Each structure stands twice: as structure tokens, then as C-alpha cells.
Amino acid sequence: MHIPVMINEVLGFLDPQRGEVIVDGTLGAGGHAAAIAEKIAPDGTLIGLDWDESMLTIAQERLAPYSIRKCFVNTDYRNIRDALNHCGVDGVDGILLDLGICSLQIDDPERGLAFRYDAPLDMRLDRHKSETAADLLNRRSERDIAHILWEYGEERWSKAIARAIVQRRMAGRMQTTGDLVGAVLEAIPRRFQDKRIHPATKTFQALRIAVNQELEDLEGAIETAFECLKPGGRLVILAYHSLEDRVIKQLFRRLSVEVELPLAMGASRIEHAPAAAQLLTKKPLEPTEEELQQNPRARSAKLRAVKRL
């Protein structure tokens, strides 16, 4: 079952009002979008983007009962400006980006995102992409694989796991999620295997990020989204990885400080341009214990928000 992450906090900072134009740039199954639709009804506009056609179909069905203007676009949020042009919109009042993966995608065995199913090692969120996780693991060098596991998964056993992957692929055993789990369990000594979190969790996360290029031009994409806001518009982002959160934190801080302008000829004092944004969250918000009991998958979520000035 899909449970939208930190829904109360998202609504609190996004603050959708009747008649506003709101973008859900990572629509998923439409959980956040449905809550937003209730707030902007009856004359608001909801623009939903998702690079996964199947998720877009599910969300459209879920949002069908809401009598608001809706525009759905099968695209990545990095293409938000083109999507807004497609929908005939210039500026918007709020944008939500949930950088996590929908639980419906995780629970679909055919996607190869979960280690509890023995399924094809796919991991693509956009099925139009050509390279699967199996393709990547059977093509890249041991060194490259270790780098991916360390960089995107912060996996301390990255070198040992990469070695085990290469050994298995030489025997033709790197085609399924079960093959990958087997490599991880072989590489990590039993006494160091976490009893609370599956030992393959970080490896699967790292490969999913690599296959879908989730961190590619993240800063530029978020900055573009910010530029699409009207003055007073809010940008709310949910991140689940330290690298994502670091990029968001640094960009939001940069947008929220005054900028020193170059001295004009003969000027006697330094001019400053005002800050572009107001930080709404000085520190990231995390899920409450109550939410984690209902939805353990939200455990790594961090919410940050800014308002355009």
C-alpha cells in the first residue's frame, strides 16, 4: 500500500490554497497530490509529472474525482519548464519534489527494486531507458562498481561486494536480484551483517541511483524549479540520501543570502542584491516516531522548504 511520506509536514510548508497552481514534480501514485487537490479545489490547478508511465496512469485514476484543472505530463521533473509550457502555465504557487521511490514500484517484483523477490535485475523507473542494473553490473569494471556502491550507497564493504559481483558474473550468475543478494551476503562477513536492515539495502539503493541517474544535474534541476515559482511561491523537497540532502541544503542556503554585486565605476560602497529565497526550514524535518511505526520506509526522509521572495 502506498503511504505518502510526511504528508502533514508537506502540506504545512507547501501551504496550498484554493485557486492556486501547484506542481507535484514526482507524482508517483498520487498520495501527496490528492491531499493537495483537496486544498486547491474547486478552481485550482494541479500539474503532475512522472517519468514512469504506469505511475502516471495510477495517479490519474486516483485524482479523477477531484474537480480541479489537471495537467499530467510523462516526464522527469528536470524538464519542469517544458512541462509547464506544455500545460500553458508561466509561474506556479508551489512545487513538491519527493525524490524517493513509490512503494508500489518497490513492491512490483518485475522492476527488480526489492531484494525480497528473486526477479530480473532491472531497476529502471523509466522503462524507455535502455540500460538495466544487470546490464550495468555485467559491463562495468570491478573498480567502477565499487565506486558506485561507495558513492551512492555509502557501503563500507563496496570493494568486497564488487569483487563478489564480478566473480559471479564470470559464471553467468548476475541476472537476477537473487544473484545480487547472494553476492552481497558472500562479501559481508556474517558477524558484520546488520540484523535490523537487510545487508543488501545500500547496494540496491546505490545501483538504483546509478541506473536512473537520479543525482545527475540535481542542483540545476532544483534551481530551475525554484525559478518557476511566482514571488511568494513555496518549494518543498523530500530527500532520502545524504548526497541529495547536501545538494539541497547548499542550494537553499545560497538562495537565501544577499549577493554582493560588482562595484560600478566610481562607486564608493558595495551594493547588495537581496536574497532570492526565505528558508522555511533551517534544519531538515524528519518523520515522527508515530509515522515511522506506520510507514518504516519513511525512516531516511528529510524535508526542506524555501519561499521565493
pLDDT tens, N- to C-terminus, the chain (309 residues): 578 999 999 999 999 999 999 999 999 999 999 999 999 999 999 999 999 999 999 999 999 999 999 999 999 999 999 999 999 999 999 999 999 988 888 888 888 888 888 999 999 998 888 899 999 999 999 999 999 999 999 999 999 999 999 999 999 999 999 999 999 999 999 999 888 889 999 999 999 999 999 999 899 999 999 999 999 999 999 999 999 999 999 999 999 987 666 655 655 566 667 899 999 999 999 999 999 999 998 999 999 999 999
**CATH code of the domain occupying 108-212:** 1.10.150.170
| Cβ-contact 132, 227 below 8 angstroms | no
CATH class of the region 7-99+215-308 = alpha beta
Handedness of CA 46, 309, 77, 96 (dihedral sign): negative
* pLDDT at position 267: 59
Name residues whose C-beta falls within 8 Å of residue 27's C-beta, 6 or more positions apart in sequence.
33, 48, 49, 50, 55, 56, 59, 72
Q: What are the residue ranges spanned by the domains of the chain?
A: 7-99+215-308, 108-212
Q: How many CA atoms lie within 13 A of 29 on its CB side?
A: 14
Angle between helix 201-212 and helix 142-153 axes, rounded to 10 deg:
100
CA distance 159 to 252: 34
Intra-chain end-to-end CA distance of the chain, in Å? 38
* pLDDT at position 127: 83
